[in-house]
Amino acid sequence: MAEPDLSAAAVPPIDLADVQGNILRGYTKSMVRHLIAQVTDASAARAWIGATAGPDRSLAPAITDAAHWGENPPDVCFNVGLTFAGLQALGLPDSATRSFPEAFREGMAARASKIGDWGDSAPAHWKPWFQDGDAVHLVLTLHANTASLLDRHEQALMSGMAGKSLSIRGRNEGAKFNGDEVHFGYRDNISQPRFAGISPPGKVDHQPSAPLGTVLLGYPTALEQLTWSLPEPTVLGFNGAFNAFRVLEQNVAAFEEFLSRAAERLLDSHLADELLPVGSEQDRASRPQRLAAMREVVAAKLVGRWRTGTPLALSPRDPLPGETVSDTNYDFVDDAGGLKCPLGAHTRRVNPRGARIVQRMANHTRRLVRRGMPYGPRFDPTAPLSDAGVERGLLGNFICADLSAQFEAVQYDWINLGLQDPRITGSNDPLMGANEQDASWFDVATSKGTIRLRGLPRFIRTRGGAYTFLPSISALRWIGRLGGQ
């Protein structure tokens, strides 16, 4: 296939059949399995990778691309991400591997100090199959609605050429347990970048639509006059994307305990009536009812959305459950003081929208496509003892065109340093920052004053991950055609 000509003034319209699926539009499957694989035979592995994008299904299952499914969605979606160590293990020429950006070349573990992976979250404590980053070469991802479909597909996959050229080092499996609910009880997957002409029309979004260069290489980005340089040759880089795959363990018991502690404190403060939802103020409800209502207020303040999904920016005093309000059509421009949505709330930190921030250029330029799935059983607050030793969390994919300027900038500058607004600088994201109980703080502002909540522990621990490159379909074929090294 001829290499695309990017020198043309206008980049050609996107060929969705050349882009891997789950980047521009999310799958709606309820289960995921990530196979963490190591290359054992470079030439056979290259041939297999090429075959996943070729016509002969007896050689390898097909990679799911981004073309519309029409009436016939596949039972199983299959995608592949390659790490830098993987590109090297596959024997790609140095001229190609050297042309990838530094963050990707270094890999996730080496960037630990830039992304808050220290203490318990340090790579030395990751799951065994992630600990030797040099041996993590491919992340093969299967999405389906049943475990038996996943099993069958994995078997088919490994019984052919893949079985002879790759070894599976570990598996990370996730499954939805209540629609788009994630552990901690929030509805997730509401706000995503919308790509003009590609994202389903319908929902109104106050934010500018995202240019394709937000996630795909070779297209204009939201940064004026900036297009990320393509890894070489062009056929390898064009239509590819980068992914920060993260295994994030969530400590739900600690989170629920914090909600209770903070709710008690707020309830006893002079601002209680300013914060409680209408109808649960001091004189209208019993203490346990007010406490329960205040716990939800705290949960909402930490994230910037009620656990039902309703954004605080649209409904600061009422969780209003339901589809119509769990939308993303709002801005923070009229909430400069954080009276509706706290300045340090998770969603406001990671996407300040049009709010005044220190790095003006960054307002809409660090957007990430998020494709995640919970893992582990839902927490049962009535049986905390039987929960001992149970692990649960999020298998998160943070997809972007530049890991350093998008994922790492959000994860570090905004989540962990609070550099976007001097009023939160020095505090961490309350939900997922690298908090230390002694030093952490989170401000809840009302028109009658601000209360500083303290003592937030670290609720989320990194258990593994990898920076991967999600090559285009043409790039997979190109890899398949490479000669022996």
Please report how close the Cβ of residue 207 comes to ligand HEM at its closest, in angstroms.
Answer: 7
Of 4 and 116, the one with the shorter C-beta distance to ligand HEM is 116
The yes or no reply on residue 350 touching ligand HEM (CB under 6 A) is: yes
Of 3 and 334, the one with the shorter C-beta distance to ligand HEM is 334
The yes or no reply on residue 351 touching ligand HEM (CB under 6 A) is: yes
The yes or no reply on residue 184 touching ligand HEM (CB under 6 A) is: yes
Total of chain residues touching ligand HEM, rule CB under 6 A: 26
Task: Return the HEC string of the chain.
Answer: CCCCCCCCCCCCCCCHHHCECCCCCCCCCCEEEEEEEEECCHHHHHHHHHHHCCCCCCCCCCCCECCCCCCCCCCCEEEEEECHHHHHHCCCCHHHHCCCCHHHHHCCHHHHHHCCCCHHHCHHHCCHHHHCHHHCCEEEEEEECCHHHHHHHHHHHHHCHHHHHEEEEEEEEEECCECEECCCCCECCCCCCCECCCCCCCCCCCCCCECHHHCCCCCCCCCCCCCCCCCCCHHHHCCCEEEEEEEEEECHHHHHHHHHHHHHHHHCCCCHHHHCCCCCCHHHCCHHHHHHHHHHHHHHHHHCECCCCCECCCCCCCCCCCHHHCCCCCCCCCCCCCCCCCCCCHHHHHCCCCCCCCCHHHCCCCCCEEEEEEECCCCCCCCCHHHCCCCCEEEEEEEECCHHHHHHHHHHHHHHHCCCCCCCCCCCCCCCCCCCCCCCEEEEEECCEEEEEECCCCCEEEEEEEEEEECCHHHHHHHHHCCCC
The yes or no reply on residue 242 touching ligand HEM (CB under 6 A) is: no
Please report how close the Cβ of residue 44 comes to ligand HEM at its closest, in angstroms.
Answer: 36
List binders of ligand HEM among 294-333 (CB under 6 A): 303, 305
The yes or no reply on residue 394 touching ligand HEM (CB under 6 A) is: yes
The yes or no reply on residue 254 touching ligand HEM (CB under 6 A) is: no
Please report how close the Cβ of residue 418 comes to ligand HEM at its closest, in angstroms.
Answer: 14
- Using CA atoms of 427, 130, 133, 62 in order, give the dihedral in degrees to the nearest 10: -110
The yes or no reply on residue 399 touching ligand HEM (CB under 6 A) is: no
Please choose, out of 57-65, 178-186, 217-225, 462-470, the segment that lies near ligand HEM by the rule CB under 6 A. 178-186
The yes or no reply on residue 368 touching ligand HEM (CB under 6 A) is: yes
Please choose, out of 53-61, 141-149, 290-298, 392-400, the segment that lies near ligand HEM by the rule CB under 6 A. 392-400
The CA-to-CA distance between both ends of the chain, in Å, stands at 22
Please report how close the Cβ of residue 340 comes to ligand HEM at its closest, in angstroms.
Answer: 14
Of 70 and 200, the one with the shorter C-beta distance to ligand HEM is 200
The yes or no reply on residue 186 touching ligand HEM (CB under 6 A) is: yes
The yes or no reply on residue 467 touching ligand HEM (CB under 6 A) is: no
Please report how close the Cβ of residue 119 comes to ligand HEM at its closest, in angstroms.
Answer: 16
Of 175 and 476, the one with the shorter C-beta distance to ligand HEM is 175
Please report how close the Cβ of residue 186 comes to ligand HEM at its closest, in angstroms.
Answer: 3
The yes or no reply on residue 66 touching ligand HEM (CB under 6 A) is: no
Please report how close the Cβ of residue 250 comes to ligand HEM at its closest, in angstroms.
Answer: 5
Please report how close the Cβ of residue 182 comes to ligand HEM at its closest, in angstroms.
Answer: 5
Please choose, out of 91-99, 336-344, 345-353, 383-391, the segment that lies near ligand HEM by the rule CB under 6 A. 345-353
Tokens of 357: 């921030």
Q: Which of 346, 364, 463, 477 binds ligand HEM (CB under 6 A)?
A: 346
Residues of this chain that bind ligand HEM (CB under 6 A): 182, 184, 186, 188-191, 248, 250, 303, 305, 346-347, 350-351, 368, 370, 394, 396, 398, 407, 410-411, 431-432, 460
